[in-house]
A = this chain, B = another copy of it.
Amino acid sequence: MTRSPTNTREKLIETAKDLIWQNSYGHVSVDDICKAAQVHKGSFYHYFPSKIDLTLAVLDSYYTYSKPFFDEIFNADMPPKERFGRLAKFGYEKQKEAKEKYGRVCGCPFMALGSEMGGYEQAISDKINTVVKENQKYYSGAIEDMIALGELPKDTDVKAKASQIHAYVVGHIMLARVQNSLEPLRDNLVEGIFDILGVSEKQKHKEYA
C-alpha cells in the first residue's frame, strides 16, 4: 500500500444501508448512493464491481453489526427462556431506533432484500439463507437448553420450533414495516414466542366460559 486507507468504501456502504433500508434495492440508484455519500461514480466502481456487489457488502455489514448482539442475547450463561425475551426486546428496540432515525419503521433488511431480489439474484439469496440458518441455530440452541432444564418436553421437535419462532419473529418485523407501526412488536411479540414454545405464563391461568 502506498497510500493511507480512506473511508470511501465504508461511506458508500453506510449510505447504501440507509437508503436501501428505508426504500428498496430497486428504488435506490447508484447515482443516488454516490450523491448522498458525496462520492464520485468512478470511485464507486473502484470499490465495487457492480451494484449487486455493493448490496452484498451491505448485507455483510448488517451481519457483522448484528452478530455481537445475537451472541450476547443468546449467551449460554443466561436462562434460555430469558434469551427469547431479550430477542424480542432487541427486535423492538432496533425498529424503534430506525423509526426515530429515519421517520419510519424499516423492518428487517435481510428479509426485505430476500423478498425483493430472491427471485432473480442467487448471490443475494445465498447470503441471506446463510444468515437465516445461523439465526435458527441460535433458537435451536436455546430450545435445547430449555429441554435440558426440563422446561420443554424431551420429544420437542427442535428444528420445527426454531423454524416456527423464526417465522413468527420475522413476520412481526415485516408487518411492522408494512404497517409502519411499532405497537404490535412492543405489545405482542414476546408472548407469541412463549406461546409457540408452550411456556407462556398467561396460558397457565386460563378461565373458560
Task: Please list the residues of chain A having a beta carbon within 8 angstroms of any beta carbon in chain B.
Answer: 22-27, 104, 106-107, 111-112, 114-120, 125, 128-129, 132, 147-148, 150, 152-155, 160, 163-164, 166-172, 174-175, 177-180, 184, 187-188, 191-192, 195-198, 200, 203, 206-209
Contacts and interface: CB of A to CB of B under 8 A. Distances in A.
A116 B116 contact: yes
Contacts of A106: 119
Contacts of A187: 160
Nearest to A108: B115
A154 B27 contact: no
Nearest to A183: B163
Contacts of A155: 207
Contacts of A22: 119-120
B178 A164 contact: no
Given A119-B24, A167-B184, A184-B163, A111 B198 contact: no
